[in-house]
Structure 1
Amino acid sequence: MRADRVFGYGAALGFLADLVVGDPRRGHPVAGFGRAAGALERRMWRDDRGSGAVYAALCAGGAVAAAAVARRAVASSPALSVGLTAAVTWSVLGGSSLAREARAIAAALEAGDLAAARERLPHLCGRDPRALDADGIARAVVESVAENTSDAVVGALVWGALGGVPGLAGFRAANTLDAMVGHKSPRYLRFGWAGARLDDLLGYPGARLTAALAAAAGGHPRSAVRTWRADAASHPSPNAGPVEAAFAGALRLRLGGTLSYAGRVEHRPVLGASFPPPAAADISRAIRLSRRVGALALAVSIAVSVGLSAAAAAGRPDRARPVALPGGVR
């Protein structure tokens, strides 16, 4: 079976499994990778970029190598190849978990239970919820839904289309490393630099595709594109900026502004300043947009895989064929 068909069937099955089943409660492969990476970090940590670069290379490279070995082991069986692709796609996608956590916070806000919403917010993002009111929590959820649509769905599918199972595993490994050591705390400012830059690099194509699909699927394409072009560059993250700005325009909501991470206050630029701030009811709108973007990203990634396979086939020279000459002479 051709590689594009393996990816197409496997990615579709994995996407459906994430939609229907969601993440496994126990034994999640990404959690296992995180535990292994955490154990290695405790051994390797030094307050310098070089050690962090070696650490990031070992973790991400190890994930890619393991995936490549697994792919090679099942290469002779189309059914096993599709099954492996489906299983890895399911394990690296997080669309259902993202929607579930966002809905739980929305339900708490709509019920007027601010304490429950604050308690649930750390399941979705790293912001300090203690000083947030209902609107502040709603804004944090909408921004997290936007950013994680790229990180937990679209980016993985893009790298799956480009690199198959190793691409899926490598992207998720880099994204997990960024969550673990990529933040600008005193401990990880230098050690986590390489992991953060690797995540920025691998996240670049998925973030732009997410922004484009949000503009196409959000109902307000002109607002999405205009906000993306006007405000994305002022965001401190090269990948979250386009995604959050496009979601802001597509949903016609004002995002950005002051936020707090573990007591550290950041004043981020406002995205979509002319729009109203999010409220609890807007979380469901953001989830629906995220779902549409994910489905479109699946279709685009399969199309990219087919196109790459066709281009590779066209570039291979045909095998020489015997030519019949007159009189039976060859």
Structure 2
Amino acid sequence: MVNRRLQADAIGMLLGGVLDAMFGDPRRWHPVAGFGRFAAAVERHTYADERPAGARFTAVAVGVPVALAAMAAWLTRRRPVARTVLVAGTTWAALGGTSLAREGRVMADRLDGGDLASARAQLPNLCGRDPSALGAPELARATVESVAENTSDAVVGPLFWGAVAGLPGIVGYRAVNTLDAMVGHRSARYARFGTASARLDDLANLVPSRVTAALTVVAAPVVGGRPGEALRVWLRDGGRHPSPNSGQCEAAAAGALGIRLGGRNVYGSRVEQRPHLGDGGPPVPRDVRRAAALSVVVGAAALGLACAVRAGAASRSRAGGRAAARVGSAA
């Protein structure tokens, strides 16, 4: 019974990845948008400018969808077809790799065409930096950094937690990551209230970010890079970033692409000076396209690994059941 559930999970995750590759994000009735409205309602009832209130908010906003996902997984434990469909739809909704790569390619097209106004208008689709004063090199850098970081957040993270914990893992990860985007940033309103969400997101991404970096190293030849150089830059520069996770992905991407990332970032009234990652020159539009291609390859590899892990667990469960049966018959 357990192995059938795990097999259904593996097939569902694979189908969800295929749906994302074919269609990108659902254009209407996106479940993540619905979760955002639910989280905003919880925030209205729990907000206070203090960390304990933020912890309560995070517990409710994450706990409710995870509990519902666990219930759905239990209800479909003897219905492999229904479970496969449920996991497929949830995986599709949780993944954002195809849309991420598409946004990166759009930015590359606008930069290639010299249309800075359109390129600046495109940047908010990728990150929260103020694009108003950015030139082509800074727009290219922001895009490459966003694509590298979000390959973990939008692809590898949900697949990793799906491989580890099935449907509740996919739902829980997407809830945590969405809360971080909503309240985890540094602002007057969320400096304390958003701490729990931000720290939980850091914890949830500790392993996925490093898996993303490792897959980026392996995939470097696809974009003309060298795995050895990508590995060297990742190990040297991954810890320089203020985020414990983003720097892993960005450093590996810088090494794979042979470029230099980092520098001055403006977020509204807040300015951050980020350390440089990598040894090459600043990214150009061609590097934006390469980053998008690298993200697609890393995402495909992560999908294959996640499905293999879940299917492998099914095989081990089946083998364990046969062994137990043999022991019982011998006794």
Please give the range of the TM-score, normalised by the shorter of the 2 chains: over 0.9
- Please report how far the alpha carbon of residue 42 of structure 1 lies from its aligned counterpart in structure 2 after TM superposition: 1.8
| CA contact 1:224–1:246 (8 Å) conserved in 2 | yes
Q: Relative to structure 1, is the Cα distance of residues 250 and 37 closer, same or farther in structure 2, using a 3 angstrom cutoff?
A: same
After TM superposition, list the pairs within 5 Å mapping 1:284-303 onto structure 2.
284-303=289-308
- 69-78 or 137-146, which moves further after superposition? 69-78
Give the counterpart of 1:225 among 227, 231, 252: 231
SS class of match (2:185): coil
> 1:281: which partner in 2?
286
Which amino acid in the other structure matches residue 275 of structure 2?
Answer: P
> 1:236: which partner in 2?
242
> 1:116: which partner in 2?
118
User: Cα RMSD over matched residues?
Assistant: 1.6
SS class of match (1:259): strand
1:218-259 Cα distance to aligned partner (Å, 9 max, x none): 121111111111111110001101110000000111001111
- 41-50 or 309-318, which moves further after superposition? 309-318
> 1:308: which partner in 2?
313
- 64-73 or 90-99, which moves further after superposition? 64-73
Which amino acid in the other structure matches residue 233 of structure 2?
Answer: T
Q: What is the CA–CA distance in structure 1 between the aligned matches of 2:109 and 2:230, rounded to whole Å?
A: 27
1:44-98 Cα distance to aligned partner (Å, 9 max, x none): 1111111101111111111111111122222221111110110000000001111
Q: Relative to structure 1, is the Cα distance of residues 323 and 266 closer, same or farther in structure 2, using a 3 angstrom cutoff?
A: closer
Q: Relative to structure 1, is the Cα distance of residues 100 and 323 closer, same or farther in structure 2, using a 3 angstrom cutoff?
A: closer
SS class of match (1:265): strand
> 1:328: which partner in 2?
none
1:114-172 Cα distance to aligned partner (Å, 9 max, x none): 00110111011101001110110000000000000000000110000001110000000
Give the counterpart of 1:100 among 80, 99, 102: 102
Q: What is the CA–CA distance in structure 2 between the aligned matches of 1:239 and 1:6, rounded to whole Å?
A: 31
> 2:88: which partner in 1?
86
- 223-232 or 1-10, which moves further after superposition? 1-10
Which amino acid in the other structure matches residue 184 of structure 1?
Answer: R
Q: What is the CA–CA distance in structure 1 between the aligned matches of 2:285 and 2:92, rounded to whole Å?
A: 29
Which amino acid in the other structure matches residue 264 of structure 1?
Answer: R
Q: What is the CA–CA distance in structure 2 between the aligned matches of 1:66 and 1:20, rounded to whole Å?
A: 28
| CA contact 2:7–2:314 (8 Å) conserved in 1 | no
- Please report how far the alpha carbon of residue 301 of structure 1 lies from its aligned counterpart in structure 2 after TM superposition: 1.1
Would you say 1:34 and 2:40 are equivalent positions? no
> 1:20: which partner in 2?
22
| CA contact 1:4–1:302 (8 Å) conserved in 2 | no
Q: Which runs of 5+ in 2 are unaligned?
A: none
Which amino acid in the other structure matches residue 309 of structure 2?
Answer: V
Which amino acid in the other structure matches residue 286 of structure 2?
Answer: A
- Please report how far the alpha carbon of residue 281 of structure 1 lies from its aligned counterpart in structure 2 after TM superposition: 1.5
TM-score (norm 2): 0.94
After TM superposition, list the pairs within 5 Å mapping 1:42-57 onto structure 2.
42-57=44-59
SS class of match (1:2): helix
> 1:188: which partner in 2?
190
| CA contact 1:227–1:246 (8 Å) conserved in 2 | yes
Give the counterpart of 1:69 among 68, 71, 78: 71
Which amino acid in the other structure matches residue 259 of structure 1?
Answer: N
Q: What is the CA–CA distance in structure 2 between the aligned matches of 1:19 and 1:139, rounded to whole Å?
A: 25
Q: What is the CA–CA distance in structure 2 between the aligned matches of 1:193 and 1:79, rounded to whole Å?
A: 40
> 1:321: which partner in 2?
328
TM-score (norm 1): 0.94
| CA contact 2:5–2:83 (8 Å) conserved in 1 | no
| CA contact 2:5–2:77 (8 Å) conserved in 1 | no
Which amino acid in the other structure matches residue 36 of structure 1?
Answer: F
Percent identity over the alignment is: 52
Would you say 1:134 and 2:136 are equivalent positions? yes
How many aligned residue pairs are there?
Answer: 323
Q: What is the CA–CA distance in structure 2 between the aligned matches of 1:308 and 1:183, rounded to whole Å?
A: 37
> 1:207: which partner in 2?
209
> 1:327: which partner in 2?
none
Q: What is the CA–CA distance in structure 2 between the aligned matches of 1:292 and 1:302, rounded to whole Å?
A: 16
- Please report how far the alpha carbon of residue 307 of structure 1 lies from its aligned counterpart in structure 2 after TM superposition: 3.6
| CA contact 1:211–1:243 (8 Å) conserved in 2 | yes
SS class of match (1:70): helix
- Please report how far the alpha carbon of residue 312 of structure 1 lies from its aligned counterpart in structure 2 after TM superposition: 5.0
Q: Which runs of 5+ in 1 are unaligned?
A: 325-330
